[in-house]
Amino acid sequence: MSRMSVLQSLVRPNFNFAVDVTVPLSGTTGVYGPSGSGKTTLLRCIAGLEPDAVGAINVGDAVWQDANGRLSPSQRSVGYVFQEPRLFSHLNVQQNIEYGFQRRTGDADIREIATMLGIEALMNRPVADLSGGEAQRVSIARALASAPTILLMDEPLASIDQRRKSDILPFLDRLQASSTLPIIYVSHSLDEICRLCDHLIVLEDGCVTAEGPLQDVLLDADVPALSGFETSAVIDAQVIAFDSDDELTTVRFSGGDVLLSGHIGETGQQIRLRIHANDISLTRGSEDQTTILNRLEVEVEAIHHGEGATRIVRLRAGKEKLLARITRRSVEAMRLAPGEQVTAQLKAVAVRQS
Amino acid sequence: MSEPLWLSAQLAITTTSILLLLSTPLAWWIARNRSVAKPVVQSLVALPIVLPPTVLGFYLLIVLGPAGPIGSWWVSLTGSTLTFSFAGLVIASCIYSLPFAVQPLVSAFEAIDQRDLEAAWTLGADRRDTFFSIAMPQARRGYFNAAALSFAHTLGEFGVVLMVGGSIPGETRVVSIAIYDQVESLNYAGAHQLSLILLSIAFVMLLTMFIVNRRGGTV
């Protein structure tokens, strides 16, 4: 598989950025970390917008930067979606989208891109008349129309108010599903990342603290940025039934069936579940009466130290893994140990359809 | 009567065209530069605003005169002198009106968002392309103001013209000089006529400029 390797360092007052990271040139790679951790800097380095950054960048067989020199931003075939739309105010929507298309020799289909992003009707509008969500969709279209070899997205939802995010997320899902274009997606929302990405890079204080397939990185109990509320695991599952009386959807994965409230998707559809460690409790076997719908038979794989007097228990459910955060007292009271069979009760499950 | 008017118009149009070309790179450099040389360059550009025209005219007379560095080179090139010629007037006017072309452009270029330029780079535009496709169109108001101000200012110059150009009919006798001559020869009616025309042109130009700027509309 083709890869991009990024070795960059940049020294600023109060901020040292030094990363050495490999990004697969397929699928969507999430870059996650707290504010000021260097997420945007990483994208800017890749795009060539940080002239003071030293190091090397290789994209497949192409060299974008090494000790001998560097390509200017216009020579790197990136599509960059910034936090703000950054549309050119003297051009209308169509002219904005055509700006990169005319300058790069790609085979982008502007009409198809516009349809995918739902902006066909806006093409003749001045950009000042667009809402925040529309403007951001136009900026995504503009980046795609330049037929990039990789799409860099820097918190494209950050400048859009919460209610309007749902105007864009479905388009991002569609973009991923319909193209083979590799995407690097920066966000400080792990929910967005779990929804969109299959590879994850975690940045803290200008350094990479974890990288790898999304599922694996999430299970790494030693990454500070993934502690606390964010501790979670993701599972890919398939919709198998919908009970219209109880309004419950049944989804299946190798570890069992899970019931989700509402009509989640059509039968056969693949969906991704995110399950927070705080939403799992453990019991031993017995048929207790409980309001919790979802109970999975799991095996304890490992017990790690969590924050304070908590423990993070890694569980195996079929071929998938889950994390549960429980108190040290509970671990001792239940005498939990690796290899034991227990029942995991899921209080809540976040869902992403694909 | 119309000869000085026509000459003034020619001078103003030529000067404005040359100034817009020269001021573009100069204003871009000033607007985008943070070097120590910047305030020095800014001061040099602004000098014609504060200097008495006679001071400027005096130095230009020396530099452009047949014994001066530029004047002697011009003589060897063309066989005629720069001083007391139309070409000499154009050079003098360009220096005299330089700040009126540079300042509006600097303001316009400073208002351009660096983030727009970055976006253009990532879309495959090199720096030169970005300047012509993003910066210049977005600075069009600045170009309009620069053109209007340097045109009006060149039309109204007197001291520098008198020192460098004198009053040769058809060559250097522009409107402002012609008015002066009329007054000297006590021909107040002629002076009135030319003055009124000049005043009207200047007023209409400034009015147009302020209306366009207030509207915030496109130029």
Label residues A68-80 b or e (16+ Cβ within 10 Å = b).
Answer: eebeebbebbbbb
Cβ atoms within 10 Å, residue A10:
21
Integer CA distances (angstroms), A286 to A318, A337, A342, B198, in order = 20, 18, 10, 102
DSSP state of B57: H
| pTM across the whole model | 0.86
Angle at A80 between CA A78 and CA A85, to 5 degrees: 160
The sign of the torsion formed by the CA atoms of A58, A64, A69, A73 equals negative
SS3 A259: strand
**B217 CA to chain A: closest CA distance, Å?**
12
H/E element, B99 = helix B86-110
Select from A337, A31, A328 the least CA-distant residue to A155: A31
pLDDT tens for residues A7-38? 999 999 889 999 999 999 999 999 999 989 99
Cβ atoms within 10 Å, residue A305:
12
State the best of A50, A90, A149 to mutate against chain B, taking most chain B CBs within 10 Å: A90
User: Is the minimum CB–CB distance between A282 and chain B shorter than 8 Å?
Assistant: no
pLDDT tens for residues A74-87? 999 999 999 999 99
In single-letter form, the type of residue at position A67 comes to A
> What is Dmax (Cα atoms) for chain A?
69
Q: Residue A74 and residue B121: Cβ atoms within 8 Å?
A: yes
For residue B116, the chain A residue with the least C-alpha distance is A86
* Size of chain A in residues: 354
Residue A40 backbone class (left: φ over 0; alpha: ψ -120 to 50; beta: rest): alpha
User: Is the minimum CB–CB distance between A113 and chain B shorter than 8 Å?
Assistant: no
**A90 CA to chain B: closest CA distance, Å?**
6
Q: Of B127, B129, B134, which has the smallest distance from its Cβ to A88's Cβ?
A: B134
User: Is the minimum CB–CB distance between A295 and chain B shorter than 8 Å?
Assistant: no
The predicted complex's ipTM stands at 0.86
pLDDT tens for residues B16-41? 999 999 999 999 999 998 889 999 99
* Mean pLDDT across chain A: 90
Over residues A302-313, the mean pLDDT reads: 89
pLDDT tens for residues B83-119? 899 999 999 999 999 999 999 999 999 999 999 999 9
Spatial contact of A232 and A275, defined as CB atoms under 8 Å apart: yes
Residue A160 backbone class (left: φ over 0; alpha: ψ -120 to 50; beta: rest): beta
Select from A180, A179, A226 the least CA-distant residue to A201: A226
φ, ψ of residue A139 to 5 degrees: the values are -70, -30
User: Is the minimum CB–CB distance between B216 and chain A shorter than 8 Å?
Assistant: no
pLDDT tens for residues A87-96? 999 999 999 9
Q: In what order do the strands lie in the sheet with A310-317?
A: A280-283, A341-346, A294-305, A310-317, A320-327
DSSP β-bridge partners for residue A353:
A271
Q: What is the pLDDT of residue B12?
A: 96
